[in-house]
Amino acid sequence: MPPRRRTTGLVPTLDPNDALEKLQEGIKAQISRPNIYAYKPHDKQFAFHKSTKHIVLYIGGNRSGKTVGGAVETVYRLTGRHPYKKVPDCPIRGRAVAVDFNYGVDMIMIPQISQFMPPSYLINGSWEDSYDREHRVLTLANKSFLEFRSYDQDLEKFAGTSRHFTWYDEEPPKHIYNECQARLIDTNGDAYLTMTPVEGMSWVFDDIYTPGKNGNNDIEIIEIEMSENPYISKESSRRYLASLDPEERKARERGEFVAMGGKVFKNFSKDIHIIPPVVPPKDWEWYVSLDHGYNNPTAMLWHAVSKDNRIITFAEHYKSEMTVPEHAQIFHLRNAGFERIPDFVVGDPAMSQRSGITGTSIFQEYADRGIYISPANNDVDSGINRMLQYLRGDKPRWQITENCVSLIGEMQKLRWATFNSRKLQYEKNRQEKIHKKDDHACDSARYLFSFMPDLTPSDIDPISLTDNNILNAPRAFRSWDEIIAPANSGAVTVSINKPLEGITNWQTTLAAELYENE
């Protein structure tokens, strides 16, 4: 109800009863929806507000206070009254970007900012007078403004003049982030991201999180778990988290970057799989594996296999936009430095395909420069299976030296493919395909393991097979009479982890399943 006014001459005055009523309404509003004067940041919010880095990644679980922190930081900057650090003088030009307008802007950002913005900074003390709904721009009495944008807008909507800061609520697409960051150059402005990493190991992990954790002076990483927010119920958070699968729970509870499709090498550990740089003995068998690319990196890996069948990957060459002659030169220089020529060079069999223009192949291009490549088996499943076999256990049979940074980085992040739709991810079984991104060094290593014979020793005790458990099928192409004949003569002993040479595990499994179906 609008306040009742009476006038004395030309000067309007407020009825005392109305004044008391408005004071009571203000007190109730502060209790139910406190503005910035009643804001009490918890520890991680306090660290967020104090940060002086140009890029702050405030990452954490759901309901951990990230968006509240982002809204309050935005109000501090727009008003020019920041209690923890110096900010540019007003008027301030700011930008806030969310997932979409209907939910991210209208239902999350705007309610938070309107709650924490003191009315004294609004035009006529009114949100309606300050906010242009058509253009989605908030303008304060001090001439500062905040424009709202959405990740689903076209890129040209993010161009324009310079800004002093950008707030990203939830993870932005890379191209939109880049365009917004360009608007901060003139002012030496700041960016802050408040997000839960539900997209998994995305570009934010590679370009912001990892550099920040590794000491980049322009980036601050603030991590928070759901349980660190003192203003939420432990019981309600427990019920919510209990409904999630383990990987999604890591992201939503602790704000961890996880491979949403599931990591391929889940047990890959820097403690047992990564060793200091070393050049293996020259009497070991040496291999080089190669995955060729031009726009994508070419990945060459040097491996050595000991006499007891342990593998060390000890060097790498990982570079895009280089030609075959340039890669070949590096190959020969490395070998000269090692004073050892590899016994075998293995690579992607697709390199044997001839160009319709030149009539030659990548294999031939390398051969012309003294590098003779043997085609590996490109069966992804069997190659990955062998890599996993060599990695397993506390004393793995495959280790990588720490100077192979590209291979290690890919091993830590390689994940199974996911469906584009979140709905399909929940409705269907997980995919059995590798996510085809940043997998060049892993592909190179896979060619080695698919080329070599399976030398991993069995760590499973042999089983005794009787008439009730008939299986002696190391080769899928044997006749059924051959398969069951040994069992008819009594018990036989077979190691199920060591099929005959040249026969893959899936063939053995297939034979067993076919027999059971018979």
Residue 274 DSSP class: E
The CA distance from 134 to 148, in Å, is 11
Q: How confident is the model at residue 389 (pLDDT cuts 50, 70, 90)?
A: confident
Within-domain flag for 203 = yes
| Domain presence at residue 457 | no
- Classify residue 263: in a domain, yes or no: no
Residue 220 lies in a domain: yes
**Least confidently predicted of 2-11, 241-250, 264-273:** 2-11
The answer to whether the CB of 132 falls within 8 A of the CB of 156 is no
DSSP assignment of 438-475 equals: S-HHHHHHHHHHHHS---PPP-S--EEE-TTS----S-
Asked if 248 and 291 sit in the same domain, the reply is no
Indicate whether 137 and 88 sit together in one domain: yes
* pLDDT, greater one: 433 or 501: 433
Closest by alpha carbon to 471, among 458, 487, 457?
487
Q: How many residues are present in the chain?
A: 518
Are the CB atoms for 347 and 289 separated by under 8 Å?
A: yes
What does the alpha-carbon distance between residue 500 and residue 491 come to, in Å, rounded to a whole number? 19
Q: Decide if 265 is inside a domain.
A: no
Which whole number is the average pLDDT over 55-75?
Answer: 89
Cα 320 to Cα 328: distance, rounded to the nearest angstrom: 14
Q: Are residues 238 and 90 in the same domain?
A: yes
Are residues 296 and 249 both part of a single domain? no
For β-strands 11-14 and 190-195, DSSP reports them as: unpaired
Do 269 and 392 touch, CB atoms closer than 8 A?
no
CA distance 318 to 405: 9
Q: Which of 232-236, 403-407, 423-427 has the highest mean pLDDT?
A: 403-407
Give the end of a domain, one of 254, 282, 313. Answer: 254
Strand order in the sheet with 398-401: 274-275, 398-401, 311-319, 298-305, 285-291, 344-347, 374-375
CATH number at residue 194: 3.40.50.300
Element containing residue 315 per DSSP (H, E)? strand 311-319
Q: What is the pLDDT of residues 234-264, one digit of tens each?
A: 666 566 556 555 555 555 555 556 544 467 7
Same domain, 227 and 79: yes
Highest mean pLDDT out of 129-143, 348-362, 440-454, 455-469? 129-143
Flag whether pLDDT at 484 surpasses 50: no
Nearest residue to 104 via CA among 172, 35, 199, 176: 172
Range of the domain at 27: 1-32
Q: 470-506: string of b/e by CB count within 10 Å (b at 16+)?
A: bbbbbebeeeeeebbeebeeeeeebebbbbeeebbbe
113 and 147 share one domain: yes
DSSP codes joined into one string, 191-206: EEEEE--TT-S-HHII
**Rounded Cα–Cα distance for residues 12 and 34 (Å):** 30
Number of domains in the chain: 4
Burial of 127 (0-12, 13-18, 19+ CB in 10 A): middle
178-198 pLDDT tens trace:
999 999 999 999 999 999 887
Among candidate residues 426, 451, 476, the one where a domain is terminated: 451
Same domain, 27 and 39: no
Per-residue pLDDT tens for 280-323?
999 999 999 999 988 899 999 999 999 888 999 999 999 999 99
SS3 string of 222-265? EEECHHHCCCCCHHHHHHHHHCCCHHHHHHHHHCCCCCCCCECC
Give the CATH number, domain containing residue 436.
3.30.420.280
Lowest mean pLDDT among 53-62, 78-87, 489-498: 489-498
- Quote the Cα angle for 154-156-162, to 5°: 130
Q: Provide the terminal-to-terminal Cα distance of the chain, rounded to the nearest Å.
A: 82
What is the identity of the amino acid at 90?
C
pLDDT band at 490 (very low <50, low <70, confident <90, very high): very low
306 and 216 share a domain? Answer: no
d(CA 476, CA 191): 60
Mean pLDDT in residue range 360-375: 92
- Select from 403, 427, 451 the last residue of a domain: 451
Could you tell me which residue, 464 or 85, shows the higher pLDDT?
85
**What's the order of all strands across the beta sheet hosting 131-132?**
131-132, 137-139, 145-150, 93-98, 165-169, 190-195, 55-60, 219-224
Domain co-membership, 435 together with 472: no
